[in-house]
Every structure is written in C-alpha cells, then in structure tokens.
Amino acid sequence: MTSSGYGGLFGALFARGAVDLSDAAWLQAMLDTEAALARAAERAGLAPAGSGGTVTGIARAELFDNGTLGSAAATTGNPVPALVRELTRRLPESTAGAAAAVHTGATSQDIIDTAAMLLAARALDVTLADLSAAAGSCAALAARHAGSVMAGRTLLQQAVPVTFGLVAAGWLTSIDEARQELHRVRSTRLAIQFGGAAGTLASLGDRGPEVATLLGAELGLPVPALPWHTNRLRIIELAAALAAACAALGKIARDVILLAQTEVAEVREAAAPGRGTSSTMPHKQNPVAAITILAHTRQSPGLLATITAAAEQEHQRAAGAWHSEWQPLTALLTLTASASSWSVDLLRNLQVAASRMRKNLESARGLPQAEHIATLLTPALGRLEAHDLVANASTRATTENISLVEAIYADEGLAATLTNAGISRTEVEAALRPESYLGATDKFIRRALAAHEAVDAKLST
C-alpha cells in the first residue's frame, strides 16, 4: 500500500490519473530536495566542486529501500535521519569530500516540508490540467443545452423551469473558481522550507539566506521571507483549496446521481461493456464515475479538519502536530487529483436526455410556472394576495389531479380576477409554457461562458 493509502485493490478507484504520491514518490521528492541542497551548497562554496553532481547522481529512489527507511523512522520519528545516513554511505569512496554537501544546514523538517511542496506542485499541475478539461466539457454542455428546459428543483421538489445549460454553467463556474484558487496556491503559496534546527540557519553562519536562495532556484520554488516550521498557513491554504475543488466536483457528481435515477432519467453516464454492472442484477448501469467522485469528496472535509487542527504548533518546532499532517495531506492531494480525473470521464461522456427533461417538467402539469401566474396578478392584487390565490389553485390541481390551468378556471373567483385584471386564458396558457419563465437564464449562461474564457486565458499565461 502506498503512503496515500490507495494502492493495489483500491488504487484504480482512488488513485486514478497521472499523479503519483506513493512512498516511492515521497522518497524521490526528499532525495530531490537533498540533491538540490547539495548543489546549492556547492554553488555557495560550502562544499567541494562536483559534490552536488555526485550527490544528485545517487539521489534516486530505486537505490534505496523504503522498508528499511520506514523501520528506522520508528526510532527517530521521521525517515530523514536514516535517509541522510544512507545517502552519505552510498557516496563513492573516490568522492568522500562530497559528504560535506549532504544535508548542509538542514533539519529533518526542512527536507520533508520541501518534499511536500514539490509533490504538491507536481500534483497540482496534473489536477489543474484535468480540471481544465472537465471545465471545457461543462462549457460545451452549457452552450449545447442553453435551451433544453427542465425542472429546477429546490428541496428535491420541482420549483420553476430552468435549462440544463444553466445547470452545466453552474458546474462550470464552480470548477473555474476552484481552478483559480488552486492556481493561486500553486503560484504563490508553495515554497521551500529551510531553517535548520530552530529557524535561524545558525549552522551556516551568515550564509544561510544565500543557500536558501540557491536552494529555491535549484527546485524552482519560491523562497519565503522566513522559515515556516510552525506557521502552517501555507499547508492550510493548500488543503483548503483542494477541499474546495472536491466540493465543486462532489456537487456535480451528486446532481448527476440524482438526475440519473430511474424515475428521473434525465442524464446517464456513457454505456460501456461491464460498466456500472451489479454483482446480482443484470439490468443495472450504475453511475460509476459520479459515485466514485463522491466517495473521494466525502473524505475531504475530515482531512481538511485534521490539517487545520494540526496548525496550532508550539514554539519553534512542533511535537506531533507537524507529523500528523503527512498522511492527510497526501490523501487529500491524491483524492483531489483522482476525483478530477474521474470528472473528466464523467463530463466528457455524459449523455443528456433533453426530451426526458421536458417530459418530467410537463408531468407537473403547469405547477412549476405557478409563480409566473402570481407575478402576472401582482400588479392588480398585490404580491401576497396573488400568491395565496395561485397557491389555492395549485393545491386544487394536486388534490384533483388536474392541470394548473384547469384548476385556475375551475375557481370562478380566480377566473374572474384574471378577467378583471385584463389577463386572458390565452395569456395564462402562454405564461404556463416553460420557455416563458426562464428569466435571465440565457444571460447567465453567456456570462459563465465568457468568464470561463477569461479564466482559461488567465491560467494559460
């Protein structure tokens, strides 16, 4: 099992996509940090010429045994001391002076925190690419179905008409907002950690800031104003941005699951041999992608809570709180990346039954447009009286199983009120057409699509 907790049996579900946060990936990120530090020490003149290259040459995860390092971690509280010893031991005898470049000025937290930043950068690059693809599919759905009327639902009941294009535009906007926050974190909040024993880099004298600058350049990560050993806001912002992306994807998956119910059948995932099958029921085609996305996103709030709770850390180095971040952060990066990959599959292949959407809306026999009738009556009667009259007609339509227009004109008082207000039956029937009560739907869709284009342009620069 990998350090993300999703190997083997569950890996295809919970570690989908190109992001690697396995034990081997963690080890390589720590080795990359040690190698970059060795090169920085050499550039600063604190290690012999060529030592940085020598260390880099052996800083390859396949040369080390994770099991051995893990066992040693139980003695020291983290795997870095054993890694440093093994890295030094593996230096060729002919370059013994290169040992001076290993772990120069660093403490274990410097290596693990910087490795975490490297892994986060790599994971976010892949996640952002997948979210971009998912957003593109949402934009296509919004444009294609701008006029596909369906029931808007509040509290799981039919409310007023909307279009599926507006639903997809809502999905699009939430993904784009998540993309922008992840991009901000990726661009501005990931940074090296390099402070030595207590954040002073005292072992390097006055050369510490210089080595830190060189380390950042070697790794392609920003150099913060100060070491952040017990200031965990960077980690919280990263975790919060990941959890927000999960929230956006979870909402989409939940919508798809509800719309794919047999009795609703307004969308479905693309069929494929064996996909969504049941172990007992041959007819089933379960919405596998949507279900799996929710299995990911349901875990993110707890992981974020753990990381946030761990941010209260004592003095210059934490006793346990820092250590508690490693697993939940790894899991949150893994789950967000995997959910993003699943979302590409879900949205790219989503099948939309526009005719079924209209049929379900029409099955309510005009009730979702009751608000429109009340709006027509408001100038003559006032909002509250108009609301109550139409509410009574709606109740009659439901209890007598008739259409709203039939219920309206079965009520002689309401019918007379409409006539006195100069509203004909033809106008009432026109007002009960779903397309007549879509408000700013088209404008909102256009805004979402324009905003999406702006986000794409911004994030591509």
**How far apart (Å, rounded) are the C-alpha atoms in residues 297 and 390?**
41
Position 125 in a domain: yes
**384 and 322 in one domain?**
no
Position 72 in a domain: no
Torsions phi, psi of 452, nearest 5? -65, -45
Where among 341, 358, 375 does a domain terminate? 358
The larger pLDDT score, comparing residue 272 to residue 343, is at 343
Position 27 in a domain: no
pLDDT confidence of residue 285: 80
**402 and 315 in one domain?**
no
**373 and 268 in one domain?**
no
**395 and 329 in one domain?**
no
Cα–Cα separations (whole angstroms), residue 47 to 82, 94, 440? 21, 15, 67
3-state helix, strand, coil in the chain (%, to 5): 70, 5, 30
Position 300 in a domain: yes
Could you tell me the pLDDT band of residue 2, with boundaries at 50, 70 and 90?
Answer: very low
At residue 154, the 3 state secondary structure works out as strand
The string over 162-192, giving b where at least 16 C-beta atoms fall within 10 Å of a residue's C-beta and e elsewhere, is bbbbbbbbbbbbbbbebbebbbebbeebbbb
**How far apart (Å, rounded) are the C-alpha atoms in residues 326 and 332?**
10
pLDDT confidence of residue 363: 96
pLDDT confidence of residue 277: 62
**How far apart (Å, rounded) are the C-alpha atoms in residues 307 and 301?**
10
**Considering the chain, what is the average pLDDT of its residues?**
94
Residue 238: CB atoms within 10 Å: 25
Q: What is the pLDDT of residues 418-449, one digit of tens each?
A: 999 999 999 999 999 999 999 999 999 999 99
At residue 57, the 3 state secondary structure works out as helix
Q: Give one DSSP letter per residue of 326-381, joined into a string.
A: HHHHHHHHHHHHHHHHHHHHHHHT-EE-HHHHHHHHHTTTTGGGHHHHHHHHHHHH
Q: What is the pLDDT of residues 239-278, one digit of tens each?
A: 999 999 999 999 999 999 999 999 999 999 987 766 666 5
**415 and 306 in one domain?**
no
**382 and 247 in one domain?**
no
Position 7 in a domain: no
**380 and 342 in one domain?**
no
pLDDT confidence of residue 222: 97
Q: Bridge-partner residues for 153, per DSSP?
A: 158
Could you tell me the pLDDT band of residue 8, with boundaries at 50, 70 and 90?
Answer: confident
Q: What CATH number should be reported for the domain holding residue 338?
A: 1.20.200.10
CB neighbours of 436 closer than 8 A, spacing ≥ 6?
Answer: 369, 372, 430
Across 86-106, average pLDDT: 90
Q: Report which DSSP code applies to 94.
A: G
**391 and 317 in one domain?**
no
Task: Identify the domain containing residue 410 by its residue range.
Answer: 367-431
**394 and 314 in one domain?**
no
Asked whether the beta carbons of 227 and 285 are under 8 A apart, the reply is: no
Q: What is the pLDDT of residues 283-316, one digit of tens each?
A: 768 889 999 999 999 999 999 999 999 999 999 9
Position 43 in a domain: no
pLDDT confidence of residue 286: 86
Q: Report which DSSP code applies to 189.
A: I
**338 and 190 in one domain?**
yes
At residue 386, the 3 state secondary structure works out as helix
**252 and 144 in one domain?**
yes
Position 141 in a domain: yes
**174 and 271 in one domain?**
yes
At residue 268, the 3 state secondary structure works out as strand
Q: Which of 71, 187, 203, 278 is catalytic?
A: 278
At residue 105, the 3 state secondary structure works out as coil
Position 83 in a domain: no
**How far apart (Å, rounded) are the C-alpha atoms in residues 3 and 376?**
62
Cα–Cα separations (whole angstroms), residue 275 to 255, 280, 282, 346? 20, 14, 11, 13
Whether the pTM exceeds 0.85: the reply is yes
User: Any catalytic annotation for residue 317?
Assistant: yes
Q: Which of 317, 348, 356, 396 is catalytic?
A: 317
Q: What is the pLDDT of residues 27-51, one digit of tens each?
A: 999 999 999 999 999 999 999 999 9
Question: CA-based angle 238:244:250, to the nearest 5?
Answer: 140
Torsions phi, psi of 352, nearest 5? -110, 125
Cα–Cα separations (whole angstroms), residue 3 to 180, 202, 329, 396? 28, 33, 10, 61
**How far apart (Å, rounded) are the C-alpha atoms in residues 299 and 246?**
9
Across 321-350, average pLDDT: 97
Which helix (H) or strand (E) segment holds residue 153: the answer is strand 149-154
Number of folded domains in the chain? 2
Q: Give one DSSP letter per residue of 269-306, joined into a string.
A: PPP-TTTT--SS-TT----HHHHHHHHHHTTHHHHHHH
User: Any catalytic annotation for residue 278?
Assistant: yes
